Structure 1
């Protein structure tokens, strides 16, 4: 398989994670150029050779033949940099957020059609290995059709929406949402970053899907760093189906005689270049439900696997002409629900229809 030539817009922490994955998967991808106003790389990326650097995106795309551009710049620049990539007839893998409003996202769709290029969005949450096995579990029918799903501290806004939609099904449209948001005072304290906080913002979102399934997420702005919250350590999801449930990775179903039958999930790992790499998740059911890591030959962390999945999604779309795994439509839907919940909160929790 020929290497695809890649350019990255941005050089911050997120862009550097893409660089690490591209470096690890150099048999499939070749990083050709980076565009950033401030290109300072850490030691583990200092040995990239033959990479051109630019502070002007137009010059980058005029001087190189690029198969696809990765936009991983500052969140407020993602949309403008994505437009730049598309206007040069280059396929796009864009980080989130892809737009501040639906109009800006729709502009990307129109540009992609006009320039006849593919667009994939690097939403990482549903691509994480432990989320993949939950999706396989639901698809297997072991716990039955989903009645209700819940996410706590997993992420806010479109990230939480993305995870919940991955359980219900990306093909099941959301039809109505409610949103609530309020600030609360907390005892003043320092975060690991050194910042001081005296308050936190809680968000609650409710999504109703066609067919009646509902999903809820809760999130606090203190969830990521504050020592007075559990942060990511105890972030959790719950999926309640017609025949059973999955709380975190704890699965339970009825055994037909009135008792609860617990079903275990095993995570298998292998060593690759001294890195513990997930090999598979296996649900101990009959038959077994298995998610195998398609990138297990590479020394990638779980977080990097989600980036690898986004990269190979746009790769496959370019090489075969098939639709990307997630794509602009799903990214737009997640953002539409997110924006609608914010509007609902502004209206004291009034329901907002998703058309």
Structure 2
């Protein structure tokens, strides 16, 4: 691919607006098409961000010759079906996290990508955050010795929202885990890999969704204490602690604008402000992969998405989080 990468967006909620703003900051790509079930909403979004083409159905965008790669920004439960439909039309896909609600969905999506020889990546933007990238490199270089402890949390108050809101609706795979618990789980996985054992406990809201979950990931010589919740705020400062020092990712750590290293009682702060909101880095990775002909990212690969889906599902099994559509399937 030698020309500018042509993007399409389906699902035009708040995250799509943030993505479109950051896309405008990245060279080598342009927003050419958007789709919504409401053509008025699509036209309004297109006018705001300069997209030349609007569609009142997602399939019409997937069939368009004006789009190379589609950003799927719809609720969790539609990620698999929309990604598959896009890839079967030959479109590359960046799918918002979690890529699938469970490991089976993720496996099917990857199989379709491989069959159709198209690019597929989970939009786990924190993996590309400069502070997190730098922290990982520091750990690999032995800056804080061997990791013995990780702490990461992500919580905000959301119980005042309408019961049909995607966060509180079990039919839309609501709850804290898939939406924000994915971030602490990802951080533990990034630094320590797959745990030997998982402990997890959840509290549930009146709508049936899990509203807070505490997790312990056990490793050979380390533990990760992780938390997500919708019934209170948390500090959202992550700690990676080794036998020679610690790294603290500044709040809100999943979109950190810097980090602090503590060694021998001395604290040194490093500022690493993101370009735009921070979606710019995953956008650049997608475009670099497409230009070089890669069908998956080396930074966040298909296997990484499979592992993350497996971890999320195991936490759900431990804490009793089953969605209605999964119960129907089991029955």
Query: How many residues are paired up?
Result: 284
- Do residues 29 (structure 1) and 3 (structure 2) align? no
Which of residues 208, 217, 221 is equivalent to 1:207? 217
Given the superposition, is the C-alpha separation of residues 99 and 43 from structure 1 closer, same or farther in structure 2, using an over 3 Å criterion? Answer: closer
1:162 match? 186
Tell me by how many angstroms 1:111 deviates: 0.2
Q: Per-residue deviation at 1:184? A: 8.8
Is residue 57–residue 84 contact of structure 1 (8 Å, CA) maintained in 2?
no
Aligned CA RMSD, in angstroms, stands at 2.9
Equivalent in 244, 268, 288 of residue 316 of structure 1: 288
Change (3 A) 1:52 1:43: closer
What's the counterpart of residue 114 of structure 2?
113
Residues 150, 241 of structure 2: 8 Å contact kept: yes
| 1:251 aligns to 2:261 (yes or no) | yes
- Give the superposition deviation at 1:340: 0.5
Tell me which moved more, 49-58 or 310-319.
49-58
Q: Counterparts of 2:29 and 2:77 in 1: how far apart (Å)?
A: 27
Q: CA deviation at 1:222?
A: 2.0
Map Cα deviations across residues 208-239 of structure 1 (whole Å, 9 max, x no partner).
34x4432120232223xxxxxxx35x212121
SS in structure 1 of the partner of residue 196 of structure 2: strand
Instruction: State how far apart, in whole Å, the 1-side matches of 2:244 and 2:288 are.
Output: 36
Write the distance in 1 (CA, Å) between the matches of 2:21 and 2:57.
23
> 1 or 2, which has the higher strand percentage?
1
Partner of 1:328: 302
Distance 1:337 1:20, change over 3 A: same
Judging by fraction of residues, say which structure has more helix: 2
Residue 183 of structure 1, CA deviation: 4.8
Displacement after TM superposition at 1:3 (Å): 0.9
Structure 1 pair 175/57, CA: closer, same or farther in 2 (3 Å)? Answer: same
Contact 2:239 2:248 in 1 (8 A): yes
Larger radius of gyration: 1
CA contact (8 A) 2:29 2:287 kept: no
* 1: CA distance, partners of 2:45 / 2:109: 34
Q: Is the 8 A contact 1:69 1:90 kept in 2?
A: yes
Cα pair 1:20 1:45 within 8 Å, conserved: no
**How many Å separate the matches in 2 of 1:119 and 1:20?**
22
1:114 Cα deviation from its structure 2 partner: 0.5
Question: Which digits, 9 at most, give the CA deviation of each residue in 1:211-268, with x for residues without a partner?
Answer: 4432120232223xxxxxxx35x21212121211224444222xxxxxx241402316
Q: For residues 317 and 327 of structure 1, what CA distance do their matches in structure 2 show?
A: 11
- Spell out the pairing of 1:283-322 with structure 2 (5 A cutoff): 300=276, 304-305=277-278, 307-322=279-294
Give ranges in structure 2 of 5+ residues lacking alignment: 156-178, 250-258, 322-331
Q: 1:262 to 1:184 in 2, by over 3 A?
A: farther
Q: Cα distance 1:57–1:41, how it changes in 2: closer, same or farther (>3 A)?
A: closer
1:338 pairs, out of 307, 312, 315, with 312
| Corresponding residue of 1:352 | none
Kindly tell me: are residues 14 and 329 of structure 1, through their superposed partners in 2, closer, same or farther at Cα, counting changes over 3 Å? same
Matches within 5 A, 1:124-273: 124-153=125-154, 156-168=180-192, 172-183=193-204, 201-209=211-219, 211-223=220-232, 231=233, 234-248=235-249, 249-253=259-263, 260-267=264-271
1:43-74 Cα shifts (integer Å, max 9, x gaps): 89734445211122332233314221111123
Question: Does the C-alpha gap of structure 1 residues 57 and 44 become closer, same or farther in structure 2, counting only changes over 3 Å?
Answer: closer
Q: Distance in 2 between matches of 1:250 and 1:23?
A: 31
C-alpha separation in 2, matches of 1:10 and 1:59: 13
Query: SS state of the match for residue 46, structure 1?
Result: helix
Counterpart contact for 2:147–2:242, Cα < 8 Å: yes
Question: Does structure 2 conserve the Cα–Cα contact (< 8 Å) formed by 1:4 and 1:28?
Answer: yes
- d(CA) in 1 for partners of 2:81, 2:53: 21
The reply on whether 1:6 has 2:7 as its aligned counterpart is yes
Aligned counterparts of 2:154 and 2:305: Cα–Cα separation in 1: 20
CA–CA separation in structure 1 for the residues paired with 2:308 and 2:70: 22
